[in-house]
Amino acid sequence: MTDTPKFLTISEAAAFLHVSETSLRRWTNSGKLRCFRVGGRRERRFLLSDLLAFMPPADRPASPPAAPAIADARERHISLFFRDPDEQWQLLRPYLLAHLRDNNPVLYIQDSTPPERLLGWLHAEGLPVDELRARALLQVLPPHQAYLLAGRFDVQRMLAFMESAILAAYAAGHTRVLLTGEMTWSLAGPPGAERMMAYEALLNPLVEKYPTATIICQYDLKRFDAISVLDALLTHPSAQLPGGLVAGFYGL
Residue 113 lies in a domain: yes
Same domain, 81 and 112: yes
pLDDT tens digits for range 14-71 = 877 777 888 888 899 888 889 888 887 888 988 877 887 776 654 444 444 444 445 5
Closest to 169 in 3D by CA, of 218, 199, 214, 234: 214
Residue 68 lies in a domain: no
Give how many domains the chain has, as a whole number.
Answer: 2
User: What's the pLDDT at 92?
Assistant: 96
Angle at 216 between CA 193 and CA 233, to 5 degrees: 65
Structural domain contains residue 153 = yes
Residue 60 in domain: no
Confidence of residue 95 (pLDDT cuts 50, 70, 90): very high
Which DSSP helix (H) or strand (E) runs through 228? helix 226-235
Residue 133: which pLDDT band, with cuts at 50, 70 and 90?
Answer: very high
The predicted structure's pLDDT at residue 146: 93
Q: In the structure, what pLDDT confidence band is assigned to residue 3 with cuts at 50, 70 and 90? A: low
Give just the sign of the alpha carbon dihedral 14, 167, 187, 133: negative
Task: Name the pTM for this structure.
Answer: 0.78
Residues 27 and 140 in one domain: no
Task: Write down the H helix ranges in 21-77.
Answer: 21-30, 48-54
Check whether residue 121 and residue 226 sit in a common domain: yes
Q: Do 191 and 96 share a structural domain?
A: yes
User: Distance between CA atoms of 183 and 33, rounded to whole angstroms?
Assistant: 32
- Same-domain pairing of 85 and 49: no
165 and 229 within one domain = yes
Backbone phi, then psi, for 224, in 5-degree steps?
-95, 140
121 and 20 belong to one structural domain: no
Whichever domain contains 161, its CATH number is: 3.40.50.300
Q: What value does the CA radius of gyration of the chain take, rounded to a whole number of Å?
A: 18
Same domain? For 39 and 101 the reply is: no
Mean pLDDT of the chain, nearest integer: 87
Q: Are residues 215 and 134 in the same domain?
A: yes
Does 59 fall in a domain? no
Beta bridge partner(s), residue 3: none
pLDDT for res 235: 95
Mean pLDDT of 200-213: 93
pLDDT at 129 over 90: yes
**What is the Cα–Cα distance from 149 to 135, expressed in whole angstroms?**
23
Are 89 and 150 members of one domain? Answer: yes
For residue 226, pLDDT beyond 80: yes
Residues 99 and 187 in one domain: yes
The per-residue pLDDT for range 68-91, each reduced to its tens digit, is 445 565 678 999 999 999 999 999
Task: State which residues form the domain around 48.
Answer: 7-53
In the predicted model, what is the mean pLDDT of residues 82-102?
95
Q: In the β-sheet with 106-109, what is the strand arrangement from edge to edge?
A: 138-141, 106-109, 177-182, 213-220, 77-82, 238-241, 244-247
